[in-house]
Amino acid sequence: MPGLGTSFGRGGATTFQQDLQNSDCIVIMGSNMAENHPVGFQWVMEARERGAKVIHVDPRFTRTSAMATKHVGIRAGSDIAFLGGIANYILQNDLYFREYVEKYTNAPVIIDSAFADTEDLDGLFSGWDPEEGEYDVESWMYEGMELHGAAGQREEGFDATKGEASGHGGHGGGLHHGEPPAEDASMQHPRCVLQLLKKHYARYTPEFVADTCGCSKDDFVEVCETLSANSGRERTSAFCYAVGWTQHTVGVQMIRSAAVVQQLLGNIGRPGGGIMALRGHASIQGSTDIPTLYNILPGYLPMPHTEKYGDLDTYIDANTSPTGWWGHFRAYFVSLMKAYFGENANAGNDFLFELLPRIDDDNSVYWTVEQMLEGNVKGYIVAGENPAVGHANGKAHRLGLAKLDWLVVRDVVEIESASFWYDSPEVESGELEPEAIATEVFFLPAATHTEKDGSFTNTQRLLQWHWQAVEPKEDCRSELWFYFHLGRLIKQKLENSEEERDKLIRALRWEYPTHSQTQEPAAEAVLQEINGWEIESGKFLSGYPELKDDGSTLCGCWIYCGCFADGVNQTARRKPHWEQDSYVAPEWAWAWPANRRIIYNRASADPDGNPWSERKRYVWWDGEEGKWTGVDVPDFDETKEPHYVPPEDAKAEEAVAGDHPFIMQADGRAWLYVPQGLEDGPLPTHYEPHESPFDNPLYSQRANPRRQQNKDLAEDPYNPVADEPGSEIYPYVVTTYRLTEHHTAGGMTRTVPYLAELQPEMFCEVHPDLAREVGLEHGGWATIYTSRSAIEARVLVTDRIRPLRMNGREVHQVGLPYHWGRRGLVSGDSANDLAHMALDPNVHIQEVKAFTCGIRPGRRPRGPELPRFVAELRDQAHSRREQKPRVEPEEARKT
Amino acid sequence: MALSRLLASWPALRQLREGDPLGLGKAVQSPRSKHLVPRLDEAEHVVESICPYCAVGCGQLVYVKDGDVTHIEGDPASPISRGRLCPKGQASKSYVQSPLREYKVKYRRPYGTRWEELSLDDAMEMIAERVIRTRAETWRKQTEDGAPANRTMAIGNLGGATLDNEENYLIKKLMTALGIVQVENQARI
Amino acid sequence: MSAPDGLATYGDEQQERVGFFTDTSVCIGCKACEVACKEWNLIPEDGRVWTGDSYDNTGELSANTWRHVAFIEQDKPIYGNGDGGTGLRWLMESDVCKHCTHAACLDVCPTGSLFRTEYGTVVVQQDICNGCGYCVPACPFGVLDKRHLAPAPDLPAFAKEDGRVWKCTLCYDRLKGGHEPACAKACPTKSIQFGPLDELRERADARLAKLDADGWNGAQLYGRDPDDGVGGFGAFFLLLDDPEVYGLPPDPVVTTRDLPEMWKNMLVAAGTLLAGVTALTLLGGRR
């Protein structure tokens, strides 16, 4: 996640779930942890039992709120206003942890004089290019420093890297500098980060927060006071978030806001502190580390880009930071190429760099769907994901699938993405007819976790091995089997090809031992390759410092290097916690990086290397032994003294000072202000959601100017917003979510009898006032509609979704779980059919946590009546809008 | 003997014999109750596993008998979960044995109106051929602007967050070598 | 403290009386207990009916739901002094068979199917139950219920559906193997605690004292008192409001309070009739 990556250096949770027990205050926001991570929530309850405050800030009163010592209801999508308000409160009242902020963050760093804030430019940062609709980030830089990707290269046509394509896929950015940045340790300089922050958030007063978020001023101040009182030398507070933050057009900046607050309070890298990213799939962290993502290679190495990088050296240079651990980029990349292509990749042929495929700025899944709709995508393989239900604007996805030549769906059950051609809302409405769909569909049954070996990386960066318990039955196979044999067949068929395009696949190292009757590849052999070895000796590597840039080591994912150290599957370690010395339990499985459980833990000691307090002791400098020690693996060069000052010519990690704990960052500091690596600004700013009933109270710039929109895509129309005529047709804020009893798109739970019965039907949650206003009956049916579609749901009238008063107006919110689809033991309409595909610009994530809708009593129209109903309302709304169209400022500035 | 055993099992008699005149306890304990053995203790293997649902990463123990999973419950040894599971994790056995689980390949031909049977081997051959064909037909060495591309934009791969690291690794490795760049997963959802 | 009826009959085989302490102040309403119970005991599903009653779709304890989580939405603050924000609270409580010290179900069961185990728990023996249903109205909590389902072929033979009565066994089989009951083991927040009843009662007293000291609104123990109408529960609760709020009887009384005397009289008569046969069998047994 670039929110965490650009702030601290690594895109993973900074702490681990068990450590939450040490928190004095836990703020859960953008997460419904008790419902969606119930077992992890035990550690929050442990903290609460020890007297910690548990604060839940959320639009709904959920099972998490019920357990919290304090719940504050806010309008969906207003989180940055709330968090910015906390930052302002801390700054205005001098509640920040001064020594931590001064030494460990970039608060003292002076920013280029060309930088202009949103407060100066009415909601835009300096560098906005209205034609391109994006920022030139040069003015955001530290004073006296150049952008990564030096000027000379830019003249040659190589752009500065931004967003996920830079900063190593959301990891800490590389600053191109050899000198230390210009600083003012007193943090008084008007252009130092601390002062910029003060200015940026000055208007985020408690009154502003109350008006924008719809909470009471008192509740807000109580949160600020509680959080500040429980941070500092003696006390620590933690934040927990989940997709309630990520799924917004400002998702990355919401997480950044928490990063700002936690840096100001000095809570990163310390026990009981941190930011706990709660992820929703068994290995969603793993599938980002070892990505099945378009823009990165394993270990957050950027994919080569059609325009940004030329040859190998340019690519390496553009991604190598002179300081910090990204200084060894070449070693990471070359070792990966050796893992991919073996002896076929060597220094003589630039490790086959020239043959690697190139990406464009956005080849993410929503872009692919657009391409499908345009007929440009012919084949699609879907393995363990259900876009027909789980993705925003499900209809667009289903219509896209119907335009493919061929589709492979691999799953345990026949999910909606496999059955779209004969069982979907579009078949029901007549928009799709099976006889007219050319898509050839292969459904291949998958093996489950009990039927294969392998490792998951959990939400705290922990790789945990699961062993095969039984053989998969009949045609069921693991993905390992499928992709291995698919690759084997393809390689076989292309063995003698002379085509240029087949060179790379022919060069692919693709030999893994297989076992059992099914010829299942050995998952451990793959893990060994991920860990890597020294090529000549075959000796397994014990960590990424051993990687070489000359092709003498092989490693499939540098950050996972060490997971098979000493030839032992470290991820399969299961020493019971009661046999381990501390609650950190380092001998249970293996965490990246280097088995560290709290990262940046050098920050748990003061600049001199002593614990900030006895109570919050974790990692410290042992002067006698001359090394860092503690209950965790120190996230620092073990023998680097606290007062180490790098010599002038120092490179890579050597250039990070002894009192700079954020070793992945080029300057060793946490970034309050992100000069490089984000598309939409160095500081989080409150913008309204893409679809919202309100104007932005701060600026005429209403929503994130950099958000990705599909203005020309007929399948993804938008509701009129704010004061636009027509917005009254969609007056309510809708938010989607999960329930404890189900999992995501439901493929793994609607199909399980004991779970299906616990939440058997799609429902909507509304307040009694809204029910009265539109005539909804508890237990009856409601039709919820947007410009995209309409769905029906049973009505659950509850006080748990309160109307909020703000800006002199009362706003109702509609809550929608999104687990249902047409298949399974229990079925129902899909909430995601209502959502649009406007995206966060950094990570291309959809905004399903806050958009607008209308609601009326009764079931939705059936058959062809359904699209007609949706279109009539939409046409009405859009024609009203046409009478007085709102021009977004981001466009109005076009020359 | 037979008669005495029969009589001995007569509750009223046992009630007297066993000092349970009201027939509330031991006297009425059936042989099945007396000799109950928990399924856990009848397992042939216990396999260490991890819950497949969310990313908390709870430890699971999978109990196996006669080649089938007989029970799944939490692994107390895990420092994260301490043996506990949520309703989803606790339903893992029902998930892997779902009544809706598919065990055979299904094939739908273009414009078809029903699923057809297909062998796994044939399916694999057909998929491999389609990847090769589509890729050959849509290969782009360069972009329209003449920048290097080395790719096909006509094939995509979706999914990964529910899969193992090793599986994700093979997917990205294979797709990259094939010039398929539209590789995506649930990190976007 | 009154001993559970029938426990003394085990002599040397008698075990320490065990039970549940369900502390609703930490219940997150996840329903892991419901599922864990069903998974372990291979219980048929209980119907896929959306009730609209908050997040409760299983409704009540029944032959096919042996743990049931109740959800009560209240406009009351968590703390007596009004702290805790919105003034809203959402009570969740995992209900279960109470395993009463004086259990009426056991008294009325004519077949000896319902019995007191060596752990002091109350269990229906499925190999004996004939589905007469006498126990159903006898339970002051409505726990006992007859199963009415079409036969499910994938269930083991002993679980055949035939109108018998089913309820929580406190995982009798697991206890025999030295394992904790499935629901208590699964519970993510240890709202459900399993252990020797004496210990649980001590723990509960301490817990109540802490909640009172912290100003929790309405905290009270339910079924902890050995002197109540059923002699105390083997599975008792810490509630955050009066029992009625959770659909529990405020003052449960063993419905067969006067029955033991009657049974004793009957048994004396039966004993006289059978004296001869008894002597013979006892001799036979010794041979």
- What pLDDT digit, counting tens, does each position of A359-385 carry? 998 999 999 999 999 999 999 999 999
SS (H, E, C) chain B: CHHHHHHHCCHHHHHHHCCCCCCCCHHHCCHHHHCCCCHHHHCCEEEEEECCCCCCCCEEEEEEECCEEEEEEECCCCCCCCCCCCHHHHCHHHHHCCCCECCCCEEECCCCCCCEECCHHHHHHHHHHHHHHHHHHHEEEECCCCCEEEEEEEEEEECCCCCCHHHHHHHHHHHHHHCEEEEECHHHC
Chain C residues in contact with A41 by the CB 8 A cut-off are 28, 188-189
pLDDT over 70 for what percent of chain A? 96
| Ranges under pLDDT 70 in chain C | 1-2, 81-86, 149-161, 257-287
Name the residue in chain A with its Cα closest to that of B85: A39
Q: Which of A227, A143, A148, A236 is nearest to A191 (CA)?
A: A143
B1 pLDDT higher than 60: no
* Mean pLDDT estimate for chain B: 92
What is the C-alpha to C-alpha distance for residues C112 and C92, in angstroms, rounded to an integer?
35
Instruction: Say if the Cβ atoms of C57 and A72 lie within 8 Å.
Output: no
Average pLDDT over residues A54-79: 97
Q: How far is A812 from chain C (nearest CA, A)?
A: 17
Residue C221 pairs in a beta bridge with C238
Determine the residue among B48, B162, B176, B181 to mutate to test chain A binding: the one whose Cβ has the most chain A Cβ atoms within 10 Å.
Answer: B162
**How confident is the model at residue A322, as a pLDDT?**
82
What is the C-alpha to C-alpha distance for residues A10 and A544, in angstroms, rounded to an integer?
15
DSSP for residue C259: H
Per residue in A584-643, pLDDT tens? 999 999 999 999 999 999 999 999 999 999 999 999 999 999 999 999 999 999 999 999
Structure tokens at A64: 């998490």
- Pairs of residues, one from chain B and one from chain C, whose beta carbons lie less than 8 Å apart: 154
> Which of A357, A464, A526 is closest, CB to CB, to B181?
A357
Hey, which bits of C173-270 come out as E strands? 192-196, 220-222, 235-239
B150 pLDDT higher than 70: yes
What is the C-alpha to C-alpha distance for residues A443 and A422, in angstroms, rounded to an integer?
14
Q: Are B188 and A364 in contact (CB under 8 A)?
A: yes
Spatial neighbors of C271 by CB under 8 A, at least 6 apart, are B16, C278
Per residue in C195-221, pLDDT tens? 999 999 999 999 999 999 999 999 999
What is the C-alpha to C-alpha distance for residues B127 and B124, in angstroms, rounded to an integer?
5
A95 pLDDT higher than 80: yes
Chain C residues in contact with A70 by the CB 8 A cut-off are 83-85
Which of helix, strand or coil describes residue A33?
helix
**How confident is the model at residue C153, as a pLDDT?**
55
* Mean pLDDT estimate for chain A: 94
What is the C-alpha to C-alpha distance for residues A390 and A830, in angstroms, rounded to an integer?
8
Using CA atoms of A705, A711, A717, A723 in order, give the dihedral in degrees to the nearest 10: 40
Residue A708 pairs in a beta bridge with A839
What was the ipTM of the complex prediction? 0.96
Chain A residues in contact with B178 by the CB 8 A cut-off are 490, 504-505
Instruction: Say if the Cβ atoms of C267 and B38 lie within 8 Å.
Output: no
> Which ranges in A402-552 belong to alpha helices (H)?
416-419, 425-429, 479-493, 503-507, 523-531
Q: How far is B103 from chain C (nearest CA, A)?
A: 18
Instruction: Please state whether beta strands A406-411 and A440-445 pair in parallel, antiparallel, or not at all (unpaired).
Output: parallel
Q: Are B180 and B155 in contact (CB under 8 A)?
A: yes
Per residue in A456-470, pLDDT tens? 999 999 999 999 999
Residue A329 pairs in a beta bridge with none
Cα separations in angstroms, A880 against A105, A379, A784? 50, 40, 20
What is the C-alpha to C-alpha distance for residues A193 and A186, in angstroms, rounded to an integer?
11
**How confident is the model at residue A890, as a pLDDT?**
76
Q: Are C252 and C229 in contact (CB under 8 A)?
A: yes
Per residue in A198-252, pLDDT tens? 999 999 999 999 999 999 999 999 999 999 999 999 999 999 999 999 999 999 9
CA atoms in the 13 A half-sphere facing the CB of A679: 27
What is the C-alpha to C-alpha distance for residues A774 and C83, in angstroms, rounded to an integer?
33
Instruction: Say if the Cβ atoms of B148 and A281 lie within 8 Å.
Output: no
Residues in chain C, overall count: 287
Cis peptide before B87 (omega within 30 of 0): no
| CA A425 to chain centroid | 30
**How confident is the model at residue A892, as a pLDDT?**
64
This prediction has a pTM of: 0.94
Instruction: Say if the Cβ atoms of A474 and B127 lie within 8 Å.
Output: no
State the chains in contact with C (3 or more Cβ–Cβ pairs under 8 Å): A, B
B60/C277: higher pLDDT: B60
The answer to whether A45 contacts chain C (CB < 8 Å) is: yes
State the chains in contact with A (3 or more Cβ–Cβ pairs under 8 Å): B, C
What is the C-alpha to C-alpha distance for residues A274 and B177, in angstroms, rounded to an integer?
38
Residue B28 pairs in a beta bridge with none
**How confident is the model at residue C283, as a pLDDT?**
39
Structure tokens at C104: 């009426």
**How confident is the model at residue A154, as a pLDDT?**
32
Per residue in A516-541, pLDDT tens? 999 999 999 999 999 999 999 999 99
**How confident is the model at residue C281, as a pLDDT?**
40
Q: How far is A790 from chain C (nearest CA, A)?
A: 21
**How confident is the model at residue A155, as a pLDDT?**
33
Instruction: Say if the Cβ atoms of B158 and A371 lie within 8 Å.
Output: no
Instruction: Say if the Cβ atoms of C9 and B90 lie within 8 Å.
Output: no
Average pLDDT over residues A693-713: 94
Tokens 């339903």 identify what position?
A: B91
Cα separations in angstroms, A370 against A20, A407, B142? 42, 16, 21
Instruction: Say if the Cβ atoms of A45 and C189 lie within 8 Å.
Output: yes
A339/A804: higher pLDDT: A339
Q: Which of A108, A104, A107, A124 is nearest to A116 (CA)?
A: A124
- B13 confidence band (pLDDT: 50, 70, 90): low
Q: Are B128 and A493 in contact (CB under 8 A)?
A: yes
| Residues within 8 A of C (CB atoms), B 50-109 only | 71-74, 83-87, 89-91, 93-94
Q: Are A791 and A833 in contact (CB under 8 A)?
A: yes
Instruction: Say if the Cβ atoms of C7 and B25 lie within 8 Å.
Output: yes
Q: Which of A645-659, B28-42, C79-93 has the highest mean pLDDT?
A: B28-42
Hey, which bits of A563-656 come out as E strands? 590-591, 619-622, 627-630
A163/A287: higher pLDDT: A287
Spatial neighbors of A59 by CB under 8 A, at least 6 apart, are A73, A74, A75, A76, A733, A735, A801, A813, A815
**How confident is the model at residue B20, as a pLDDT?**
79
* Start-to-end CA span in chain A (Å): 35
Residues in chain B, overall count: 189
Q: Are A174 and A664 in contact (CB under 8 A)?
A: no
A806/A585: higher pLDDT: A585
Instruction: Say if the Cβ atoms of A422 and B113 lie within 8 Å.
Output: yes
What is the C-alpha to C-alpha distance for residues C219 and A14, in angstroms, rounded to an integer?
37
Chain A residues in contact with C30 by the CB 8 A cut-off are 34-35, 38, 63, 740
